[in-house]
């Protein structure tokens, strides 16, 4: 029997919850409110992929500038520049955030418009250059806001996830979800992705906010449905308990 190939996040407890990691070439949505750890989890996936598994990654950043991301990553000891400058490169960051903010970008990979066909072309070209095995789109919500109808949003998400799957990369897409409401901003992203991981903050019995993680969906595989606590330590995301 053929076993399904897995792509490890490199957070042992989380890989265990997923019975070995993400399914190769699948797309998973990471959903959560502001500051719940979506970007950090995505960076950890790319960092571990490069350092531990020698898999090049593509990071499409729509909200935060590459400079901010490099700074944030450095706090956990993840030197993104080192990956970008490796030969062959282990990371390429496509900067859509800086031009979107109306600022000039001196990044190597940059895109001036938040436009799906242009994004797809840029990912295609960059993928050819670095042979990426992993990709992150942070965040998909920003892309969705450009389009006014749900049908259109559904269509762009479908195109992007199908395209990434076709390129044979395993991808994560972050989606901002308003607190205490449906899983995602538009309520549809999760149905198009193969998997959904939800991050959220909730008060414990003593009234302290705790970080929670739940795997809501993972097509074609078993996974835990339990609620897990995690923390963001100086080494990134660490799962505490179920």
Residue 36 interface partner, choices ligand ATP, Mg ion, none, CB cut-off 5-8 Å depending on type: ligand ATP
Sequence-separated (6 or more) residues with CB below 8 Å from residue 194: 23, 26, 27, 28, 217, 218, 219, 220
Stretch that binds Mg ion, among 31-39, 49-57, 93-101, 118-126 (CB under 5 A): 31-39
* CB within 8 Å of 133: residues ≥ 6 apart: 7, 49, 55, 56, 57, 168, 169, 170
User: Bridge-partner residues for 201, per DSSP?
Assistant: 211
Token pair 């490169």 in the structure block, residue: 89
The CB-of-166 to Mg ion minimum distance in angstroms stands at 26
Nearest to ligand ATP of 38, 127 (CB atom):
38
Q: How far is the CB of 163 from Mg ion (least distance, A)?
A: 22
Do 180 and 162 form a contact (C-beta atoms < 8 A)? no
Given the rule CB under 6 A, which residues bind ligand ATP? 32, 34-40, 63, 75, 176, 232, 234
Residues 32-71, one symbol each (x = binds Mg ion by CB under 5 A, - = not), give ------xx--------------------------------
In the numeric block, which tokens belong to residue 200? 């959220």
Interface with Mg ion (CB under 5 A), residue total 2
Please identify which residue in the block is written with the tokens 């892309």. Answer: 143
Least distance in angstroms from the C-beta of 172 to ligand ATP? 12
215/171 Cα distance (integer angstroms): 16
Shortest distance, CB of residue 176 to Mg ion, whole angstroms? 8
DSSP SS3 for 150? helix
Query: Is the CB of 21 or the CB of 37 nearer to Mg ion?
Result: 37
Nearer to Mg ion, 8 or 38 (CB): 38
């Amino acid at each position: 029997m053929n076993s399904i190939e897995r792509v490890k996040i490199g957070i042992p407890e989380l890989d265990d919850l997923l019975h070995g990691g993400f399914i190769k070439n699948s797309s998973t949505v990471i959903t959560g409110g502001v500051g719940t750890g979506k970007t950090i989890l995505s960076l950890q996936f790319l960092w571990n992929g490069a350092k531990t598994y020698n898999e090049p990654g593509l990071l499409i950043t729509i909200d935060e500038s590459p400079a901010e991301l490099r700074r944030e990553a450095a706090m956990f000891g993840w030197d993104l520049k080192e990956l970008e400058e490796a030969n062959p490169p282990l990371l390429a960051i496509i900067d859509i955030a800086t031009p979107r903010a109306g600022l000039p970008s001196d990044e190597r990979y940059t895109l001036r418009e938040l436009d799906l066909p242009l994004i797809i072309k840029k990912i295609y070209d960059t993928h050819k250059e670095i042979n990426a095995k992993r990709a992150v789109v942070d965040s998909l919500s920003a892309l969705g806001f450009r389009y006014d109808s749900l049908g259109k949003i559904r269509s762009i998400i479908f195109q992007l996830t199908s395209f990434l799957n076709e390129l044979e990369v395993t991808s994560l897409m972050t989606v901002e979800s308003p607190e205490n409401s449906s899983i995602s901003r538009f309520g549809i992203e999760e149905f198009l992705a193969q998997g959904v991981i939800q991050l959220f903050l909730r008060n414990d019995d003593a009234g302290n906010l705790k970080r929670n993680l739940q795997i809501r969906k993972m097509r074609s595989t078993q996974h835990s449905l339990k609620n897990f606590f995690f923390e963001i330590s100086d080494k990134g995301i660490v799962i505490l308990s179920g």
